[in-house]
Amino acid sequence: MAGEKMREASASMDKAIEAVRREFTSVRTGKATPMILETVRVDAYGSVMPINQLANVTVPEPQLLVVHPYDASVAGSIATAIQSADLGLNPSVDGNIIRVPVPPLTEERRLEMVKVLHRMAEEGRVSVRHVRHVAKKDLETMKREGEIGEDELHRRLHELQDLTDKHVATIDSLLAKKEEEVMEV
């Protein structure tokens, strides 16, 4: 029973790390990558859809994204969505395709991106700690109800703290790697 709680906690912490990893991919580094547009939502066909359901995004050059809409009638909507996504990108519609030049980041913009990364990482750490808090409460409840003993509780709490520390360290290493990538000129 206590082992099951630990597995659930570990799985939840892994999900928090994956969420941080996904969020980090949306932060622009100065190099063109289709992941930059992953968070863009387009108002098309009467609903709001992710860009990857409406178009194919390619990187023909290091500083250029090209968006090929599956349906040419939504090209304007896609360009508007990219413009309003607050990514610092200025798309231009060229017939059936959308060209999105990726300007090099200024030092000021890089520092802003680093702040955003730190905020995302802290949200991830808070999420991991919340999982620890819930699991700790569950383990203490199990002890109170006599399902596990005092020694088992202490062993599991120590194991839970080690698990938390490991996941927080993973988030910190992801942050350091992404921060280095953003600050690279």
Q: What is the DSSP letter of 152?
A: H
Nearest to 51 by CA among 104, 91, 94: 91
Contact between 40 and 83 under an 8 Å Cβ cutoff? The reply is no
pLDDT at 22: 87
pLDDT at 102: 84
pLDDT at 1: 76
Q: What is the DSSP letter of 145?
A: T
pLDDT at 156: 93
* SS3 state at 147: coil
Q: Name the token pair of 50.
A: 């992710």
Determine whether domain 34-101 maps to CATH 2.60.40.10.
no
pLDDT at 38: 82
CATH topology of domain 2-25+106-183: Topoisomerase I; Chain A, domain 4 (1.10.132)
Q: List the domain boundaries for the chain.
A: 2-25+106-183, 34-101
* SS3 state at 63: coil
Nearest to 105 by CA among 170, 181, 51, 38: 181
119 to each of 35, 122, 148, 175, how far by Cα in Å?
A: 19, 5, 38, 10
pLDDT at 185: 64
Per-residue pLDDT of the chain (185 residues; tens, 9 = 90+): 788 989 999 999 999 999 999 888 877 676 778 888 888 899 988 899 999 899 999 999 888 899 999 998 899 999 999 988 877 788 999 888 999 998 887 888 888 888 989 999 999 999 999 999 999 999 999 999 999 999 999 999 999 999 999 999 999 999 999 999 888 86
